[in-house]
Amino acid sequence: MPEKQLQRISSTISFRIALPTFLTILLFVITIFSIALPQLEQSLLNRKQEMIMELTETAWSLLEDYHARELRGELSPDEAKRRAILRIGKLRYGPGKKDYFWINDMTPVMIMHPYRPDIEGKDVATFEDPNLKNILTKIVEVVRQQEAGFVDYEWQWKDETQRIAPKISYVKGYEPWGWVIGTGMYSDDVKAEIAAIRNHLAAVSAGILVIISLLALYSIRQSVLADRERQRIFAERGRLMKSLEMSTERFRNLIETTSDWIWEIDRDGRCTYSSPRVENLLGFEPEEILHAPLTAFAAPGQAAAINAAFTKLLAAGKPFNGFEITSLGKDGRVVVLECNAVPIFDERGQLAGYRGVARDITERKTAMEILRKSRDDLHASLEETVASLASAAEKRDPYTAGHQQRVERLACAIAREIGYPEDKIEGLHIAALLHDIGKITLPSEYLAKPTRLSTEEKALFKLHPEVGYDILKRIHFPWPVAEMVLQHHEHLDGTGYPRGLKDDEILLEANILAVADVVEAMSSHRPYRPSLGIDIALDEIRAGRGIRYHAASVDACIDLILEKGFDLSYTRDEDGGGVG
């Protein structure tokens, strides 16, 4: 081929390579500066707005904390507000730690401004920025209309009173005190960050442009040498094909020697490939497995359920893990296989089958069964221990024999009625059986006294929740059993004992236990009085519903006894069932 023709062909190839390259560079620059950069700028502004909103919400939560302490009586109203002002006034953030929070009220009066103490305590309804906007009035309007929102205006630059700059602030009202708290960001800060990003992108784009240009020139040069490489590539191709055959052989050897059984099935679940490992697991030759369903060797008692579950997995067309097949080997040995697989799709994207592995987990399943039995044995031992403790307490008080068992039955029934989770009801069950364990330390004459206790005796009697707590707190139950026992005489209005807890300070289990304890105690005989009857007991919890006693528990208790015929006098040990 003549030299000029070779040069013309080379120039044509070079142009075809260079043109798309430079068009790509141009498209890259246009995309960066016309699409990506504006989106980045907007994203930065949004992120800054989210930041000041989150900071304001955080400062607002401090007001909540001090108001909560005021409501609990820990602080007077004035002291709570004073402390809130001092704490929020010291908060700083941002570069140089000069960004701040301010507080005004709805009058508006400026309550606190770290950099403008001259306007604190003053009615600034007429205070205007350089654009004659009534800033605080605008802020109050936003809070009245939306409770919280963004406000833009002009204000002094941080602590520089002579410099005025545009600002965007987020404000939120705090209704209990009639306050508004806010903080903001200066537009100049955001513009400076955006300018820095733009300059950085311009520098990066220029660098990329230079690099891509050099790469394009290099590609052009390499294209001229491409013909020389083709012959070498054809020669290499033969060697690569031979290497591929060797790799395929190594892969086949790996599959056939791995400890897991590797298989493939079609979309009907029939085996299309089986590695030799199946012989070690089930005793079958790979040829015996081919065209048979993967579940064909499931144990007879479980075959139907396993087939149904496996068919559902195949229909989903998704990867699956941990599917267990209890199989019978060729020699009758039971083998539990764990199968993991991924779907195979044909060229049209249709499900063609699955490729997966099966692992023998028989020993693991056996170990898990042993572990489960051990857990059940431990649970049974716990139940026996709890029953023994409960029995020991009641043997000292024959007049209340069965009280703890009856309270346990009623409390657990109430808990189920209100939809309490079964795993937590288990803890309530134990706490109910042991709720009077603290009486074990009381003198027997107090427990059997035929008249009402004196003031001193009552005071000693009221110690039994704390004594029960001390007995149980060192036992590591999975539930707060000791705390339930300690709180079972607490009332929502704080009139209970021993701590005088209120409302959410009391565990829900303790609230349920209190209702069951009152109903059972009033409807049972005591040494100093006969039974008051179930009607009087239900009247007591009705009268205290939502005041002393948990409302949902009261409703559930009344419904159980009056509507569903719950027999309060029955205890589990009366029919030989124990007290568990």
The beta-carbon contacts of 341-350 under 8 Å, at least 24 apart in sequence, are 343/317, 343/318, 343/319, 344/264
pLDDT mean over 7-30? 63
Q: How confident is the model at residue 240 (pLDDT cuts 50, 70, 90)?
A: confident
Reported as a pLDDT band with limits 50, 70 and 90, residue 576 is very low
User: What one-letter code names the amino acid at 335?
Assistant: V
* Predicted confidence (pLDDT) at residue 575 exceeds the cutoff of 60: no
In this predicted structure, the answer to whether residue 2 has a pLDDT above a threshold of 50 is no
**Contact predicate 181/63, CB 8 Å:** yes
Superfamily of segment(s) 260-360: PAS domain (3.30.450.20)
pLDDT, mean of residues 54-61: 94
Share of the chain above pLDDT 70, in %: 78
pLDDT for the residue numbered 289: 78
Distance CA 89, CA 86 (A): 5
Judged by DSSP in three states, 506 sits in: coil
Structure tokens at 96: 């140089």
User: What's the confidence (pLDDT) of residue 180?
Assistant: 95
Rounded to 10 degrees, the C-alpha dihedral 33/39/44/47 comes to: -170
Greatest mean pLDDT among 134-143, 294-303, 386-395, 545-554: 545-554
Query: Closest by alpha carbon to 580, among 388, 374, 403, 376?
Result: 388
Q: Residue 332: what pLDDT?
A: 79
Q: Where are the domains of the chain?
A: 10-224, 225-257, 260-360, 393-575
Domain 393-575 in the same topology as domain 10-224: no
Question: Is residue 380 pLDDT above 70, yes or no?
Answer: no
Tokens matching residue 525 = 């005989």
Q: Which residues neighbour 72 within 8 Å (Cβ) at sequence distance 6 or greater?
A: none
> What is the average per-residue pLDDT within 121-149?
76
Asked if 179 contacts 103 with a C-beta cutoff of 8 angstroms, the reply is yes
Rounded to 5 degrees, φ, ψ at 477 are: -75, 155
- The whole-angstrom separation of Cα 240 and Cα 247 is 10
Both tokens of 367, joined, read 């170990």
What distance in Å separates the CA atoms of residue 266 and residue 350, rounded to the nearest whole number? 12
Highest mean pLDDT among 9-18, 100-109, 309-318: 100-109
Cα first-last separation, the chain? 101
pLDDT for 54: 94
Q: What is the CATH number of domain 10-224?
A: 3.30.450.20
326-330, 335-339, 527-531: least confident range: 527-531
Instruction: Calculate the alpha carbon distances from 524 to 394, 411, 461, 519, 558 in Å.
Output: 15, 16, 19, 9, 17
pLDDT of residue 492: 94
Question: Of the ranges 164-178, 245-259, 295-309, 529-543, which is most confident?
Answer: 164-178
Sign of CA dihedral 76, 81, 85, 87: positive
- Predicted confidence band at 490 (pLDDT cuts at 50, 70, 90)? very high
With a cut of 90, say whether residue 258 has pLDDT above it. Answer: no
Max avg pLDDT among 379-388, 462-471, 498-507, 524-533: 498-507
The CA angle 64-67-72, to the nearest 5 degrees, is: 125
**Containing H/E element for 242?**
helix 226-257
| CATH for the 393-575 domain, from 3.40.50.1000, 3.30.1330.50, 1.10.580.10, 1.10.3210.10 | 1.10.3210.10
Checking if the pLDDT of 579 tops 60, the result is no
Residue 428 pLDDT > 80, yes or no?
Answer: yes
- Residue 578 confidence class, pLDDT cut points 50, 70, 90: very low
Under 8 Å between Cβ of 486 and 512: no
pLDDT digits (tens, 9 = 90+) for 222-238: 666 665 666 677 667 76
Instruction: Give the model's pLDDT for residue 454.
Output: 73
> What is the model's pLDDT at position 6?
45
pLDDT-above-90 percentage for the chain: 29
Q: What are phi and psi of 422, to 5 degrees?
A: -60, -35
Q: Which residue has the tokens 């498209």?
A: 27
- Residues whose CB is less than 8 angstroms from the CB of residue 279 and which lie 6 or more positions away in sequence, other chains included: 285, 286
Helix pair 187-224, 3-31: axis angle to 10 deg? 170
CA 383 to chain centre: 32
